[in-house]
Structure 1
């Protein structure tokens, strides 16, 4: 058991989206603004209705806008992008069927949606075309002076700059998040590769050593069979003992390579199953859970699993322990795993080791800490403390 000593304590460095509420790609703020503007546009029209025929036309236009909004995609990879231009046209026609201009924010949201689906350059081009159309429509269709048209276009442009700026920020944040997720996956792949390299080196050192000595002993037995028959049996007995040790090592590595979910088990059940898998190795292992168990994120479960695995393996290989105790405690926003043994403790002259150092780094990345120390009565204690909700610690 190795690490960087701090007094008596060691700290290791180290589906189809059918509804709006179910569409994670839809920015929540845009949704709020849309429904506020939709309600305002409806209320303003109801204050000065335009007669039965116009009421029907305007009502049908509103229903169309609401239906298209619910079906509107926000992810470029979706196959319903034809809904976007239809939604833009539906919001624009509100000005003809009866809106007094309050609908224009919905038109801006429609243009913003086109920015998400087709890019900012396309959205700006459409915005310029809509502004030109608005400037021409105010005097031609509504008989108002050009100054009113210029004022409306100016107000429209100011709101457009704000909304498109917000859209640009959201798209940039999404891009950075995707890049970060890609880097995280790469880090996980590298961690797995590094762990495999470490395990391969340790397997070579342990099992390879045993097999080399067994081979030499059998070669000696072959040479001594005629001249020194007593020595032959000594060599065979030693080879037999080394074979038992090599087999135990091989079984240990098989246990180490087992996945986190043992026979579909996760959480404390997986940890208890891991502890039980060390039965028959010559040490007595007990495992206990304290507090009200809560679901943990997969990364947190994996780190706890690896810490218990490392603690049990070290107690078996290095500490010459007879008893090992694992205790998983669920506290207030924290989960703690403690592994104690009654072995010979940690050599104070030992230097940093890869296994625990790597685990400490993974623990720290989740907002936790991994420590180890030798209690006064002997043995060794390994403690991992992590947030019970790792996503909160990283946000």
Structure 2
């Protein structure tokens, strides 16, 4: 049973008690009365049948909000009440429990019709067996009180049960929404992890392999093979660090600035371009995520210089501000038109998108200043 069903069941105990009393009291008077034996037996059997009828039809109809089962329950309840009402006048007391059941199980319109059907047998009996107006008046008064009582309290019980069911449905919806949010968060986390790994592979392995291919295809094989082997070793270290989910290899064993200087110097050795590395401001320790973002930005910036710039000189500067650190990678190469959308330099390709994503995750920003024939300056600023 669901929690909402359990709450509804708990709210029924008072109405169950009313039904039991309203059936038991007329039963006692019936057994003590002077009606013929077969009438007593028939009426007593009908009264006794109310118990299993409620257990197997009435209660499930209320708890599960089953209108079809509720209609069957009320119809059988009316059928069982007819012999009792035609046998004993004390059966009027049973209306208090039965009318309330109608309003609990059925919507108000149908409950009213069922109550009218329940009132017909006792009125018919008093008309058939007695012509005294006072007795008829007493029956009408009792029926009116019973109907009014059951309509008010039964309607109140119906509203309480409905609100409980709505609250249960709302809780279920919230639980489903929470499960959906958890699922989407897990999927988003997996997507972010895939993007992170793709960025790491692009910034490390892919760039390293590109350097090795370029070195092996260039003239002066002796010198280039030596650099290719050195690059391959560093690429292997990057791969091991990536597999082990460690920090990027340039940061594993070297201070931040030394790593940046070594990456710049290696680019110069591989390309033959004059490289210079400098710092501006007072150096200080940086958070690991800031160091990673700047190292990857430098690698991507130098990779673009190597692939597209045809530069003679590259200047790398790390500037320490009061609340931020800035990386500038400037070359005197070809430059390009920032409004050119054909991707001829590849700067707006996956590499820069990945760099922007990584830097923005660290709270920073990326800027590119360039023009055809005037070189390019990449600026990365990250708050510290």
| 1:89 aligned onto 2:73 | no
Match of 2:108 in 1: 120
Q: TM-score, normalised by structure 2?
A: 0.51
1:224 lines up with 2:219 in the alignment: no
The equivalent of 1:36 in structure 2 is: 21
In 2, Cα distance between equivalents of 1:51 and 1:132: 23
Structure 2: 5+ residue stretches without partners: 247-287, 290-322, 324-384
8 Å contact from structure 2 (residues 22, 97) kept in 1: yes
1:194 aligned to which of 171, 182, 185: 185
Corresponding residue for residue 369 of structure 1:
none
Which structure has the larger Rg? 2
Matches within 5 A, 1:200-215: 200-215=191-206
Partner of 1:138: 126
Matched, 1:247 2:243: yes
Q: Post-superposition shift, 1:59?
A: 2.2
| CA offset digits 1:348-374 (Å, max 9, x no partner) | x9xxxxxxxxxxxxxxxxxxxxxxxxx
Write the deviation string for residues 84-140 of structure 1: whole angstroms up to 9, x where unpaired: 31123213432223361221123214413541xxx2321123224444665554334
Output the aligned Cα RMSD: 3.6
Deviation (angstroms), 1:166: 1.6
Post-superposition offset of 1:207: 4.8
The structural deviation recorded for 1:220 is 0.5
Secondary structure of 1:103 counterpart:
helix
Counterpart in 2 of 1:169?
160
After superposition, give the CA deviation of every residue in 1:142-194 in whole Å (9 maximum; x if it has no partner).
Answer: 54524213312321222122222222321232123213322331233123213
Greater fraction of residues in helix: 2
Q: Identify the match of residue 145 of structure 2 among 155, 160, 177.
A: 155
Aligned to 2:93, the other structure's residue is in SS state: coil
**Cα distance 1:152–1:202, how it changes in 2: closer, same or farther (>3 A)?**
same
User: For the structure 1 residues 159 and 77, does the alpha-carbon distance in structure 2 shift closer, same or farther, using more than 3 Å as the test?
Assistant: closer
Residues 80 and 156 of structure 1: CA distance in aligned 2, closer, same or farther (over 3 Å):
closer
Structure 1 segment 74-85 matched on structure 2, within 5 A: 74=61, 75-77=64-66, 80-81=69-70, 82-85=72-75
Stretch deviating more after TM superposition (37-46 or 75-84)? 75-84
Q: How far apart are 1:215 and its partner, in Å? A: 0.3
Residues 104 and 157 of structure 2 are in contact (CA less than 8 Å); yes or no, is this contact kept in structure 1?
no
- Structure 1 residues 61, 238: CA separation in 2 closer, same or farther (over 3 Å shift)? same
Residue 68 (structure 1) shift: 1.5
Match of 2:278 in 1: none
Contact 1:37 1:102 in 2 (8 A): yes
1:53-102 Cα distance to aligned partner (Å, 9 max, x none): 23321222123222222221413448745343112321343222336122
Change in Cα spacing, 1:142 to 1:200, as seen in structure 2 (3 Å) is farther
C-alpha distance in structure 2 between counterparts of 1:56 and 1:129, whole Å: 23
* Aligned counterparts, 1:1-395, within 5 A: 27-48=12-33, 50-72=35-57, 73-74=60-61, 75-77=64-66, 80-81=69-70, 82-98=72-88, 100=90, 101-115=92-106, 119-131=107-119, 134-135=122-123, 137-145=125-133, 146-160=136-150, 161-225=152-216, 226=221, 227-249=223-245
Larger relative CO (CA 8 A, sep 6+): 1 or 2?
A: 1
